[in-house]
Amino acid sequence: MEIFGAVITLIGSIFLLLGGLGILRMPDVYNRMQTGTKATTLGSILFLIGISIGHYECGCLGKIAIIILFIIFTNPISSNTLARAAHFAGIKLTSRSVKDDLKEDDLENKGEEK
Amino acid sequence: MADLIYNIAAIIALAGIVLSFIRLIIGPTIADRAVALDGMTIISISLIVFIAYYSNRIIYLDVAIVYGLISFVGIVAIARYLERGI
């Protein structure tokens, strides 16, 4: 049982490493935000579940569950807010991107107001 | 055997923190630095929980909860500052 939890923790830590590598290597703010949120959310959930499986005799699974629920709820919210703020602050997309839906919606709204 | 695998996993997660920290230093804009700080915080919460079990001090789990809360509020405040100023 302890080995099983340790292997799940190892898989989660590999996801955390890939999240850090994506934050370093991606070409754009928005790509960095995407890899830094998705990979670290999944990796930290696996990491915490693995640790709580390996030490199940401690009897504090409730706090681990609270931390996991907190990460699930707040991580997408903060990432979404930051991406929206970066877009409206005028940070350019990378030259390889093909579509910008938020910019098109913005232009349509301004046209309706005028 | 299991303890060895746990230690290797913690070292790999620490390497993720180091990679994010390089982006925190060289990031061209404020949004880059905020993203790197967000990633570092999430990895740090996992490592705090690991340290809580490693040293048999369960009170550290409360530290992890409060750290996540303060990090969320901080990131939202930085985003609001970027969007329209405080």
The tens digit of pLDDT for each residue in A61-76 reads 888 999 999 999 999 9
All residues of chain B having their beta carbon less than 8 Å from the beta carbon of residue A50 are: 9
Is the predicted pLDDT of residue A106 greater than 80, yes or no? Answer: no
Question: Could you give the ipTM of this predicted complex?
Answer: 0.89
pLDDT score recorded for residue A113: 61
DSSP-derived letter for residue A95 is: T
pLDDT score recorded for residue A16: 92
pLDDT band for A36, please (50, 70, 90 cuts).
Answer: confident
- Dig out the tokens for B55 from the structure: 């040293």
pLDDT band for A29, please (50, 70, 90 cuts).
Answer: confident
Q: What is the pTM of this model?
A: 0.87
For B8-30, write each residue's pLDDT tens digit: 999 999 999 999 999 999 978 88
Q: Which regions in chain B score pLDDT beneath 70?
A: 85-86
All residues of chain A having their beta carbon less than 8 Å from the beta carbon of residue B12 are: 10, 13-14, 16-17
Domain ranges of chain B: 2-84
- Judge contact between B85 and A84, C-beta under 8 A: no
pLDDT band for A41, please (50, 70, 90 cuts).
Answer: very high
Is the predicted pLDDT of residue A111 greater than 80, yes or no? Answer: no
Is the predicted pLDDT of residue A114 greater than 60, yes or no? Answer: no
Enumerate residues 4 to 63 of chain B having a beta carbon within 8 A of any beta carbon in chain A: 5-6, 8-10, 12-13, 15-20, 22-23, 29, 31-32, 34-36, 38-39, 42-43, 45-46, 49-50, 53, 58, 61-62
DSSP annotation string for B4-73: HHHHHHHHHHHHHHHHHHHHHHH-SSHHHHHHHHHHHHHHHHHHHHHHHHHTT-TTHHHHHHHHHHHHHH
Is the predicted pLDDT of residue A30 greater than 60, yes or no? Answer: yes
All residues of chain A having their beta carbon less than 8 Å from the beta carbon of residue B19 are: 17, 20-21, 23-24
Say which residue, A112 or B36, is predicted with more confidence: B36
Residue A47 CB burial class (10 angstroms; 0-12, 13-18, ≥19): buried
Overall average pLDDT of the A88-99 stretch: 79
Mean per-residue pLDDT of chain A = 86
